[in-house]
Structure 1
Amino acid sequence: MRKIFNSLLLAAFIAAIMIIARWIGHQAYSWMPTQATAEAKRVDDIFSFLTSVGAFIFLGITGIIGYSLLTCRAPRGDWSHGHPARSDARIEILWTVTPTLLVLWLAAQSYNIYQQLDIEGLTPIVHLHILEEPATAATVKSDINQLAENIEVIAKQWVWSFRYPNNIVSNELHVVVNERTRLNLHSQDVIHGFYIPEFRLKQDIVPNRNIDIVLTPTQIGKYRLRDSQFSGTDFALMQADVYVDSSEAYSQWLSQTVKGK
């Protein structure tokens, strides 16, 4: 009878910490910057899951330690050894197989997200075609249109510049909401880092390499582009404004920029 009670108590404990861990993982979404691209949701899903797993492990271990301190203390003068867990094959298999499967699953999900970010111009480290998904980031939302613009991003110490169609050059990056945009990344001197936290996008820009990124903005607003690589003194001041506009606002901005030239 006591064995059944202990099993039920353990099951209730596991269920409780699973619920708490899932709640903590859900709160992790609020710890991140605003999701401003379709790709950002997949990245945040992975972060939330990792937070849930970490919370489950932490609560489970601390809970067992606390329970053991309260109920399993040896009497004074008892120096005998406890149950030898090393000889229990079931425990050995459990704590070997479970982390292995978890890490493999996370690797597969991370690879799929990387593929959906649609970064071109990089040499793949490994080809895992069985993990590739034919869908692109454009399928995350049904109202996302086809590729809208090709914008050239030029990085040099210490300024960002952006060349739009019709050879319009600006120090501001403007993209259209719910339309896929291709960014052609170039560096004129050293390695720079293209980093927009709300886009969940951070990509090194290597000299003499053409790197293309296709992204899908989903949230109208103003954001900030930063250089995430140490590219020299005062590199952190190399920033630029990023605007996600409606189609009308984007066309109006282009017209005003042409008139102002």
Structure 2
Amino acid sequence: MSNPSGRSRPPISSVGLVALLGWIGLLIALSWWMAQQAYRWLPVQASTAAPLVDGLFSFETGIGTFVFGAVVSVMVWVVVMHRAEKYDETDAEPIEGNTRLEVVWTAIPFVLVMAIAVYAIQVNTRLGVLGPMEHIHLANPVEEQGGYPADRLPAEQVEVIARQWSWEFRYPDANVSTTELHLPVDQPVTFRLVSEDVLHGFYIPAFRLKQDVIPGRAINFNLTPTREGRYRLRDSQFSGTWFAANQADVVVESQEEYQAWLQHAAHQPLQPGLSDAVGEYGTRKQLKNPGWATVPPAPPPQVNVPGSNTLPHDA
């Protein structure tokens, strides 16, 4: 920084330099520790996409911790080491600028942002390889943007129908319909996502993948479950009054259990599926003052297996 008084500033002592380098090393260690802790903040990893997304989140957490720690450290150092004496009401020393410092605090954020961008591009590229998403016009079921025609999609397919406010899952090859999604572990699956009314969000936190379900389009969405268990599908979009209740269980099981479930489900008669919104709407209508007007929920879909929405789930 320029010094109008002409007095030269004392150089940084070796002790001060060692202390600065030591503090930077401590910030790096803290950032690495926080990055490892970030994995614990997320649900279990249950798909091939989960480790990629979690790795990016951990990387961003580490960088954010380092930047936050560095900025707070400078603020504390300035407040403690450069505070005015008691009753000192003189003006502070004028500072015109420091080119070297400005280059440093511009270059470091640029490098960090570019590192995040490169990492994010790599993750998105790999996610595209694991499960490309093709938008298909309902009026023309051939690819719209470089996707595959319907007769060339992977063999394992599940049709997902979103409504206000329930999910329905159809297995065309087995002629099965259900309101509880079952998937075989370590087997790629293609979802054909369709909305019958408004915009919905197909989101399974344990899978780390989310896809909007757009009215008027059929969207093919691929993923591969990697961990057996019971998870939760949630509507990530504000689709109306009971969108928070628009949830369904996702059961990932072995190939043998999955096939046995399909065979059992195929022999079950059709019955109303699960729809918490229908029950809550009916209870509300019985109240003396039902409150504000709302869109009536769609009737529960007729399915072979309703499933359950009361069993404990992993995420």
Give the shorter-chain TM-score range: 0.7 to 0.9
Q: Normalised by the size of structure 1, how large is the TM-score?
A: 0.83
Shift of 1:81: 3.4
Question: Is the 8 Å Cα contact of residues 148 and 179 (structure 1) preserved in structure 2?
Answer: no
Name the counterpart of 2:160.
153
Q: Give the letter for the 1:60 counterpart.
A: A
1:12 is aligned, of 4, 19, 22, to 22
Matched-pair contact (CA < 8 Å) for 1:119–1:211: no
Larger helix proportion, structure 1 or 2? 1
> 1:99-136, CA deviations, whole angstroms, 9 ceiling, x for partnerless residues?
2232233233323333414342249xxxxxxxxxxxxx
Paired residue type of 2:200: H
SS in structure 1 at match of 2:156 = strand
SS class of match (2:50): helix
1:29, 1:97 → 2: CA distance? 29
Q: 1:50 aligns with which of 34, 53, 60?
A: 60
Task: List 4+ stretches of structure 1 deviating above 4 A.
Answer: none
Letter aligned with residue 57 of structure 2: F
Partner of 2:47: 37
- In the superposition, the TM-score normalised over structure 2's length comes to 0.69
2: CA distance between counterparts of 1:105 and 1:209? 36
Matches within 5 A, 1:63-212: 63-76=73-86, 77=88, 79-82=90-93, 84=95, 87-115=97-125, 116-117=127-128, 118-122=131-135, 149-164=156-171, 165-212=173-220
SS of equivalent residue, structure 1 residue 210: strand
Alignment length (residue pairs): 237
Q: Is the 8 A contact 2:45 2:51 kept in 1?
A: yes
Structural RMSD (CA): 2.2
Unmatched runs of 5 consecutive residues or more in structure 1 = 124-146
- Residues 175 and 266 in structure 2, CA contact (< 8 A), matched pair in contact too: no
Identity of aligned residues (%): 40
Residue 238 of structure 1: aligned partner: 246
**Alignment check: 8 A CA contact 2:198 2:215 kept:** yes
Q: What displacement does 1:83 show?
A: 7.4
Following TM superposition, by how much is the alpha carbon of 1:82 offset from its aligned partner in structure 2, in angstroms?
4.5
Which amino acid is the alignment partner of residue 242 of structure 1?
Answer: V
